[in-house]
A and B are shown apart, each in its own frame.
Chain A
């Protein structure tokens, strides 16, 4: 079985490598040295050839006074701040700044240096040496200034486009905690993180992936905490992505995860800024992808999927209670229907007599065996849930009403299913929703079906058989070198306790050990000791006596 996995993995990797080479036309376009020229009119012709007749490509040609130097601006309408271009690029060049009348002094020889250093008042400015680089930057919203007879090109940072404002994260709502979620715009997202971690060691490292989409990918980490080996591995895996397009972080997740054919998600994603910041501070690496609010957290262990950011804001007792509740819900969601089928079929003696009689009486008129009943109800529930997800809210309610009636009442009255099964399916469904992470809960929902079948065939032995298979798989999984089941397995006692319960914040003295970080300690010890007036007096006494000793 493990063999089969490695075999399929090999196929996958081979597939990744065998992406067809780019066509000749594309390759020609990729070679800028061949068809770049300092002459402005030829350059503009080249640009028109390469970018085509798209109506959002703007080329603005203008000359300095007395036509001494010919200039041209290239930008994409809709991606730039036009006011900035007008006020800080075109106007100073044509009419000079308030302090100096540079406009008169620009000549063909000094144009580049003068504009770069003195004339242009735009704050963000850089230079590139060939057309291809310039076009790449223009396509991401910058503005290029071409000077006739000058090979070098000035690039102004003028990015500005319509963006969604910072909104409440829809998929991870919380009762308590910040309401800010990531947006689709990378710059806003980095600023959200910077605002939370005002530390000079916060690093935001840029990579690109996707031949055609040229998607920006940022690795965010804290330089003196992160495990450098993990970081290098993340870099290596992202750099190895050779594909056409990256449209969502889900693409990256699948390209870089350890075991592509696992049913379990090996990388956590989040939309919440506070959760991302907490992960970074814990020594993990955040992979931000442009154009999506979902950020990846690396490395991930399974139990992270059972934690909500809220756990860390509520009081420890409440948070611990919720955490244990979720663990319970996880078990219910995975094994309750299978166990019910197994008990009904094989182990009736486990049920108290009165309950058994009730169940037997209710099941008397049911035409199906318990297995068929369970599969029918579970599938119905899954279909209903799926139908409700993407509908407009008003219609969605109708679906849930119809579904509730069908499942709850009509099916029982028609004698298709027993009330006991309805209760089991309902409890399972609610438990599934209690798991915070959707991607983890969906893998549990899938696994439920084989477990039901095993339970119907071999009773509880079949259920435990299935669970052991899942356990073998989980115990072998790793996420970037960190075992998937940490810290409950393979972890230190400290981390283990922190998984099951949520101790008060002043006990979070160390970061997770298995991440092998550069700095394990996150806070001073003993800060919890509250000082009573008496102790304060004692402390003051000690200090004075120390001073005396020092003087003596």
Chain B
């Protein structure tokens, strides 16, 4: 039943490469903006170590999710949680993940709106950005996973190449002495920072939703790992560049250090003050991330409620995300504090539940054999 249903809900297939690219955008779209400031605040010059450690946790999450996907081919996490835990408990687990994906959508929307209103268009109300972004996301989710993946192939070139160009142009501002002293960090704070969802590559958990729609699901782990390493490597390099340019003290002063970083670039007095272009490219990345997570949430809700189509739930979920994005935090500082901390609930969401599901699968197999 479930296999046929998943085929009905999503007819398209995406290639492993496209899935990897989606993961890169999901990781990089927000982390490049937020991660530098709070990791440097917590760890100083060694912030990039936390990002590398976070990559490791991301790969661990990915491997759990990957093995679950391999054990239950053609099923998403919303489906195999039901077969493993029974109908109602499984649905409850599914709901938790749907809520999580919606939460990500809401945070991204809020972050994006705050970023726009504080940095570029202070007179424009926040709702303009939330509404327009969710409008685009809903429309693209209507179009389906395949279309989102195809758009992303286009957008990822812009996003990644612009990041590299920025790094290249900023070389003149670097002072490598700022990176010292290296490796002067204790393990526990490092571990704690690396377990913050933004640093920990938690987006890999979304593979639990899209793995059945891959043309070659076996390659999911390879492309997922490559994408995680690539994306977080870029963040680590970004942090290094920021530290080299500003030093640990001045990196944490601006709210969005990457913007200051771009503003500081001045090549031959012609290429200067192009942070707006960075914003433009970043909007494209955020749009893909929003669409991707809204898609995951919508697909999950449709599968849990046994709908034949994904369409009816997309718009309501989008509206919930908008409302949630307003009510979640009072202001950008609160959001920042929330994003830069971790808690056991998150640990269980990205590590505990997948591990538990995998154990149940394993016990069931043993039981059936015995």
| A475 in contact (CB, < 8 A) | yes
| A48 in contact (CB, < 8 A) | no
How near does chain A come to B10, taking the closest CB pair, in angstroms?
14
How many A-B Cβ pairs are below 8 Å?
A: 82
Tell me which of B124, B129, B142, B150 contacts A489 (CB under 8 A).
B150
Tell me the complex Cα distance, A476–B232, Å: 30
How near does chain B come to A71, taking the closest CB pair, in angstroms?
63
Residues of B with C-beta under 8 A to A471: 151, 154-155
| B335 in contact (CB, < 8 A) | no
Tell me which of A346, A458, A463, A472 contacts B147 (CB under 8 A).
A472
Contact assessment for B147 and A476 in the assembled complex, using a CB-CB cutoff below 8 Å:
yes
Contact assessment for B153 and A490 in the assembled complex, using a CB-CB cutoff below 8 Å:
yes
Contact assessment for B120 and A489 in the assembled complex, using a CB-CB cutoff below 8 Å:
no
Residues of A with C-beta under 8 A to B273: 349-350
Asked, given contacts A350-B274, A460-B279, A469-B136, whether A475 binds B124 with beta carbons under 8 Å apart, the answer is no
Contact assessment for B139 and A490 in the assembled complex, using a CB-CB cutoff below 8 Å:
no
Instruction: Describe B's contact surface by its main secondary structure.
Output: helix
Q: Which of B15, B18, B150, B274 has the most CB of A within 10 A?
A: B150
Tell me the complex Cα distance, A536–B323, Å: 76
Tell me the complex Cα distance, A134–B144, Å: 53
| A485 in contact (CB, < 8 A) | yes
Contact assessment for A464 and B284 in the assembled complex, using a CB-CB cutoff below 8 Å:
yes
| B180 in contact (CB, < 8 A) | no
Interface residues, chain A, CB within 8 Å of chain B? 1-3, 346-347, 349-350, 352, 458-461, 463-465, 468-469, 471-472, 475-476, 483, 485, 488-490
Contact assessment for B154 and A464 in the assembled complex, using a CB-CB cutoff below 8 Å:
no
Residues of A with C-beta under 8 A to B168: none
| Chain B 237-289 interface residues, beta-carbon cutoff 8 Å to A | 269-270, 272-274, 276-277, 279-280, 283-284, 287
Contact assessment for A460 and B140 in the assembled complex, using a CB-CB cutoff below 8 Å:
no
Closest partner residue, chain B, to A346 (CB atom): B121
Contact assessment for B142 and A463 in the assembled complex, using a CB-CB cutoff below 8 Å:
no
How near does chain A come to B160, taking the closest CB pair, in angstroms?
15
Tell me which of A1, A458, A489 contacts B128 (CB under 8 A).
A458
Contact assessment for A472 and B140 in the assembled complex, using a CB-CB cutoff below 8 Å:
yes
Residues of B with C-beta under 8 A to A483: 150
| Chain B 150-166 interface residues, beta-carbon cutoff 8 Å to A | 150-151, 153-155
Tell me the complex Cα distance, A458–B272, Å: 22
Residues of B with C-beta under 8 A to A464: 280, 283-284
| B234 in contact (CB, < 8 A) | no
Besides the known contacts A3-B142, A464-B280, A485-B154, 11 further A-B residue pairs in the complex with CB atoms under 8 A apart? A2-B139, A2-B143, A347-B276, A458-B132, A459-B120, A461-B120, A461-B121, A461-B283, A476-B144, A476-B147, A489-B154
Contact assessment for B121 and A459 in the assembled complex, using a CB-CB cutoff below 8 Å:
yes
Contact assessment for A352 and B280 in the assembled complex, using a CB-CB cutoff below 8 Å:
no
Contact assessment for B154 and A472 in the assembled complex, using a CB-CB cutoff below 8 Å:
no
| B332 in contact (CB, < 8 A) | no
Residues of B with C-beta under 8 A to A476: 143-144, 147
Residues of B with C-beta under 8 A to A490: 15, 18, 150, 153
Contact assessment for A460 and B284 in the assembled complex, using a CB-CB cutoff below 8 Å:
no
In the assembled complex, 20 residue pairs joining A and B whose CB atoms fall closer than 8 Å, in A order, are A3-B142, A350-B274, A350-B277, A460-B277, A460-B279, A461-B116, A461-B279, A464-B283, A465-B283, A468-B136, A468-B151, A471-B155, A475-B147, A475-B148, A475-B151, A475-B154, A476-B143, A488-B154, A489-B153, A490-B153
Tell me the complex Cα distance, A2–B147, Å: 12
Q: Which of B153, B272, B274 has the most CB of A within 10 A?
A: B153
Tell me the complex Cα distance, A84–B238, Å: 82
